[in-house]
Amino acid sequence: MMAANRLKIAFFDFTGCEGCQLTAIDALQTHPDLLEVVEIVEFREAMSEKDGDYRVAFVEGSCSKPEDERRLQAIREQAEIVLAFGACAHLGGVNALRNWHPAHETHSYVYGEMGKRFESHAARPIAEVIPTEGFIPGCPVDRDEFIRAVKALLKGRLPVIPDYPVCVECRLKENICVFLHGKVCLGPITRAGCQAICPSYGLGCLGCRGQTSQANLNGLKWAVHAHRLSEVDFDQQMKLFQSYSMLKEKTDGDHGY
């Protein structure tokens, strides 16, 4: 395909570990055919060149500083399609754990006296700052799901993300429910697409892909109680990736920042 007709894609990083971008690099290395039909014009993890002309923006990381808002607005003005890339951009992610504490306390804890120099606010998903066309969930994103997303975009379609729980994939794999092993699992409320990787190795789902649209949180709480599992463990597991939504529901968007 001629360069002028290739789909121009850019990757942007905000507050996060950039593991999702590394997953994208790894996936593209095994799918060189895609590099013949897409043109990556900005990708700090993989290239130093930059070109502000792009149609699709993959945004990794949460919004946690005033300058992030300005960058996101600029990305939104340029891109036809903006996708939250990974749990931090999609949910606020692990970064949002700090939202449970006043900003000055976290700044002081991490940076000491230097903390006064840093201007930041509560970690937010990017969809709380700018309109987005969708998301690719996970921590990190699933490499195969990323490839499917790129192929969908090439066909002029948005990526289709599963909206059924991880439990479906567990049953298809004939896994023994980790609840029966005495472990808390968020699989009943978490959207599938990861091939139930954590429960398949005997670990409870941590909810990094976000909740399904019809998640039954009360039902999950009942299951935790019925299996006599620790409610403290359940609460901590929920907070790992759901802190932003939990605090938003609790305080109606006022995080004390």
> 70: Cβ–Cβ under 8 A, 6 or more apart, which residues?
none
> 172: Cβ–Cβ under 8 A, 6 or more apart, which residues?
none
Structure tokens at 233: 């463990």
Residue count (the chain):
257
Residue-level pLDDT at 5? 82
Question: Which residue's structure tokens are 């930041």?
Answer: 120
CA 121 to chain centroid: 19
- Residue 3: pLDDT band with limits 50, 70, 90: low
Ramachandran class of 186: left when φ > 0, alpha when ψ lies in -120 to 50, beta otherwise: alpha
- Residue 154: pLDDT band with limits 50, 70, 90: very high
Average per-residue pLDDT in the chain?
92
Q: pLDDT digits over 59-115, tens only?
A: 999 999 999 999 999 999 999 999 999 999 999 999 999 999 988 888 888 888 887
pTM of the predicted protein model = 0.92
What is the Cβ-side half-sphere exposure of residue 52, based on CA atoms within 13 angstroms? 6
